[in-house]
Amino acid sequence: MLRQTRAAFPAGLYGMLLIAVFGLTLPALVLPVERVLVGTAALVPRFLGFWSGKPAAAAEPAVLDRLAALRADLDAAVRYHDVFGAESLMPAGWRPEVRVAVATGRRGGGGQPSVVQLDRTYAEVADCSEFVTKGNALLGFLMRPGIGLAADDEPDDFARVLLLNDRTAPRVAAAMTFPEGGTLRMIVGPAARVDAAALRAELWDDPYRASRLRADGDAVHTVKLPGVVGEPPGGLLIGRTRIWGYRAAEGKESLAIAVLVAPPIDPHALSHVVLWRTDANANAVDTAEHVVEHAATVWDLPGVRGRHLLACDAAVPDGAAVVQDGLFLGSARGLSYGLALVSSFPMSRQRWSLLLMPDEAGERPRELVGRVLEGREGFALIECEADRFVSRAAGMPNGYLFTGSNGAHCPAGLLLGRVTAVPGRTDRLEVSLPVHRGPRAAAVMMRPERRSGR
């Protein structure tokens, strides 16, 4: 229970709070000055003790144990489903390693990110194959320092993955099989940035049949070319077709101008990828700097629901996750002197990478890209786009919602709350969130600074 030690909030601090709120929208040009000014103003309540009450203690051990069990279940499900499907297609002796996707960058086909940064260096994954997968799908190629787009990268830089939709990515031999029989072979490469999907099919072995494609959703898989070195294994999913062309006029047939291919997952939603270690005698060494929890205290900003002031024992980087009682509260915007402003999840308007763990055992976790449409204390309505490993017609399951990978300082697997699907909508989720009031203990997630690829 929180004990009140001061009943009234000091009127002289309202000016500081007004500055803090304005600080959320100031132009980037004055950000360094704004951080110092707001941070300096916020030192007043921190050091003079004008905030009412003492920080509430952490949740009961039984609650924390339950949260840890949910997190362990999610980790196990992600690792199983991320490897399942590709293991039987990869060469014998290759061992899968699930790695964390930290950040995305560089726009490619469909306007989507085309490069993914990992939490391991090039040196640490040097024994891995260039082929990067997720589930039964081929995502792209592990870059090598000093070569191509990574020409300026060093072995101690974070490793990067070149997705199939990057304009420098190799084209891939592929095929689609029809339910009624027959196969169309093609080459799949990056689409244009303005296209409706990330990839484009071209160089068909039967252009006439390709021009008569009418329906979206046919699966496209890799084809292994005999005697060709460097080609990915056959049978890996690349994506599903999306037909672009002219609609049929009365009495005539429609005409397909282009066949685009939508990958099974939006790069913004990626939380993990799978690398394949090819040296059976090599052992992966876990030398990555893991996210560290720093103790902090969070206060509510009066009159501004969902906004908080945070004091930490270290400088807070932008985008750092703030956790309270094991639950994700929101992301921080660092100020000076170990202070930060925090926007709670239901009041946020950014795009989030999210993980939905279904209630039903054995179901694949859904990787989502979502944003909050409506938020208030204890509730958020999310508009989301799910990965396409599972048919969209199946709808969204009920379960628990976790963060996906939202930057170096906001790792995947932080629990948000209980999620319920909105009946009749495959793109809406309702999330029940905990409600906390008054000063409270918290933790800020930070990953130690390290070099990254350019």
- Residues 330-340 have a mean pLDDT of 90
The pLDDT of residue 70 is: 93
- Residues 211-239 have a mean pLDDT of 89
Contact between 120 and 423 under an 8 Å Cβ cutoff? The reply is no
- Residues 269-277 have a mean pLDDT of 95
The answer, yes or no, to whether residue 7 has pLDDT greater than 50, is no
The pLDDT of residue 304 is: 74
Q: Which residues contact 365 (CB under 8 A, 6 or more apart)?
A: 74, 77, 78, 81, 355, 356, 357, 358
pLDDT-derived band at 413 (thresholds 50, 70, 90) equals very high
Highest mean pLDDT out of 38-47, 217-226, 435-444: 217-226
Q: Which residues contact 433 (CB under 8 A, 6 or more apart)?
A: 327, 345, 346, 377, 378, 379, 380, 416, 417
Taking only the tens place, the pLDDT of each residue in 435-446 is 876 688 899 999
pLDDT-derived band at 59 (thresholds 50, 70, 90) equals low
- The two three-digit tokens of residue 295, written as one number: 């103790």
pLDDT higher at 341 or 43? 341
The answer, yes or no, to whether residue 164 has pLDDT greater than 50, is yes
pLDDT higher at 83 or 325? 83
Taking only the tens place, the pLDDT of each residue in 293-328 is 999 999 888 777 888 999 998 899 999 999 988 899
Contact between 176 and 213 under an 8 Å Cβ cutoff? The reply is no
Lowest mean pLDDT among 64-78, 222-236, 437-451: 437-451
**3-class SS of residue 156:** coil
The pLDDT of residue 257 is: 79
Secondary structure (DSSP) of 369-415: EEEEEEEETTEEEEEEEE-SSS-GGG-PPPEEEEE---STTS-TT-E
- Residues 56-63 have a mean pLDDT of 66
The answer, yes or no, to whether residue 188 has pLDDT greater than 80, is yes
The answer, yes or no, to whether residue 111 has pLDDT greater than 60, is yes
- Residues 348-370 have a mean pLDDT of 93
Phi-psi sector, 168: left (phi>0), alpha (psi -120 to 50), beta: alpha
Contact between 34 and 23 under an 8 Å Cβ cutoff? The reply is yes
Task: Tell me what the pLDDT averaged over the chain comes to.
Answer: 84
Lowest mean pLDDT among 197-201, 233-237, 338-342: 338-342
Alpha-helical segments (H) within 13-58? 14-22, 31-48
- Residues 89-104 have a mean pLDDT of 92
Centre a 10 Å sphere on the Cβ of residue 24 and count the other Cβ atoms it contains: 13
pLDDT-derived band at 247 (thresholds 50, 70, 90) equals low
Of the chain, the percentage scoring pLDDT greater than 70 comes to 80
How far is it, in rounded angstroms, from Cα 335 to Cα 444? 14
Lowest mean pLDDT among 36-40, 105-109, 175-179, 325-329: 36-40
The answer, yes or no, to whether residue 53 has pLDDT greater than 70, is no
The pLDDT of residue 248 is: 57
Confidence (pTM)? 0.83
The answer, yes or no, to whether residue 35 has pLDDT greater than 60, is no
The pLDDT of residue 251 is: 53
Q: Which residues of 345-362 are buried (b: 16+ CB within 10 A; e: fewer)?
A: bbbbeebbbbbbbbeeee
Helices and strands, number each (H, E), in the chain: 4, 24
Contact between 108 and 286 under an 8 Å Cβ cutoff? The reply is no
**3-class SS of residue 65:** helix
Smallest Cα–Cα separation from 236: which of 88, 112, 366, 97? 88
The pLDDT of residue 20 is: 53
pLDDT-derived band at 232 (thresholds 50, 70, 90) equals very high
How far is it, in rounded angstroms, from Cα 187 to Cα 177? 14
- The two three-digit tokens of residue 291, written as one number: 């996210």
Of the CA atoms within 13 Å of residue 201, those in its CB half-sphere come to 34
pLDDT higher at 187 or 230? 187
The pLDDT of residue 377 is: 86
- Residues 319-341 have a mean pLDDT of 91
Contact between 341 and 310 under an 8 Å Cβ cutoff? The reply is yes
The pLDDT of residue 288 is: 54
The helix (run of H) or strand (run of E) holding residue 204 is none
Measured at the alpha carbon of residue 299, what is the angle toward residues 294 and 305, in degrees to the nearest 5? 125
The pLDDT of residue 270 is: 94
The pLDDT of residue 300 is: 86
Say if strands 321-324 and 327-334 run parallel, antiparallel, or are unpaired: antiparallel
pLDDT higher at 29 or 346? 346
Beta partners for 258? 244
The answer, yes or no, to whether residue 349 has pLDDT greater than 90, is no
pLDDT-derived band at 4 (thresholds 50, 70, 90) equals very low
Lowest mean pLDDT among 121-125, 212-216, 333-337: 212-216
